[in-house]
Amino acid sequence: MIAQKLNFGDEIRAIAPSRSLSVARQDVFENALKFLSDKGYIVSFSTNSREIDETNSSSIQSRVEDLHTAFIDKNVKAIIACVGGFNVNQILEYIDYSIIQDNPKILCGFSDITALSNAIYTKTGLVTYCGTNFTSFGFSDGIEYTNQYFEKCLINSGEYFIEPSQQAKEYYVIQEGSCEGEIVGGNLCTLNLLQGTQFILKNKILFLEDDNIVGDYFPLEFDRNLQSLINKAKI
């Protein structure tokens, strides 16, 4: 199930299912809002997006309510996460997935939002987008490349090729080849949180991104997390 594409002038709802929008710097918030508004979008924010507790998040109830409301609201054409974080997996079992299935919309985000995106796809079949969060539009570095593919994915209906960013570091191919299938994935450490749950996907093509939070040990950490996913999830 693929949601209707976005059009310039449509309303985008920014929600905070992970960390609160309050953690974002004011200049980043203002830059992101201006960038999207200048592109012609109407940007609205969920009622509880700035609620914040000792974990820099909000209550499970508030986050679930905001998610449900965004999908139910007929004026909202796309939903984007405000920012990533660490605890979106707290809300997965409280979501009414029938609301999402009956009101399919674009959902876009990355990092911790990986858990939400994969859970929704598993439970409803709705294709979600591993892409920029709202606050990502508030940074100037690479913004045009980011927006180019945001629009190719969410507005354009034709096929497109993904070209490497000129600002990105050099990449290399470990093993050449080709394959065909459904692509799932996102943040590796977050995807690992779905192991042993009803939300893990199997028999898919896997793509991954991850954060280096362990310094020089990152390649080793990445390797063992990937192996754990292979062993348990059998993707």
Q: Cβ distance 45 to 21 under 8 Å?
A: yes
User: Is residue 204 very low, low, confident or very high in pLDDT (cuts 50, 70, 90)?
Assistant: confident
Least confident among 38-52, 141-155, 196-210: 196-210
Give me the mean pLDDT over the 85-113 stretch: 97
Query: By CB neighbour count within 10 A (0-12 exposed, 13-18 middle, 19+ buried), where does 33 fall?
Result: middle
Say yes or no to pLDDT of 235 above 60.
Answer: no
Say yes or no to pLDDT of 233 above 70.
Answer: no
Q: What is the mean pLDDT of the chain?
A: 92
Say yes or no to pLDDT of 124 above 80.
Answer: yes
CA angle in degrees (0–180, nearest 5) for 83-108-101 = 125
User: Is residue 200 very low, low, confident or very high in pLDDT (cuts 50, 70, 90)?
Assistant: confident
Say yes or no to pLDDT of 111 above 70.
Answer: yes
Edge-to-edge order in the sheet of strand 42-45? 42-45, 11-15, 76-81, 106-109, 129-130
- 152: number of Cβ within 10 Å: 15
The predicted model scores a pTM of 0.92
Say yes or no to pLDDT of 143 above 80.
Answer: yes
How much is the pLDDT for 234? 59
Give me the mean pLDDT over the 3-9 stretch: 95
Sorted by where each begins, the domain ranges of the chain are 1-158, 176-235
Q: Cβ distance 182 to 207 under 8 Å?
A: no
How much is the pLDDT for 213? 80
User: Is residue 106 very low, low, confident or very high in pLDDT (cuts 50, 70, 90)?
Assistant: very high
Q: Domain spanning 1-158: which superfamily?
A: Murein tetrapeptidase LD-carboxypeptidase, N-terminal domain (3.40.50.10740)
The closest of 218, 25, 56, 44 to 136, measured between CA atoms, is 25
| Sequence-separated (6 or more) residues with CB below 8 Å from residue 100 | 71, 120, 123, 124, 126
**pLDDT tens-place string over residues 31-75:** 999 999 999 999 999 999 999 999 999 999 999 999 999 999 999
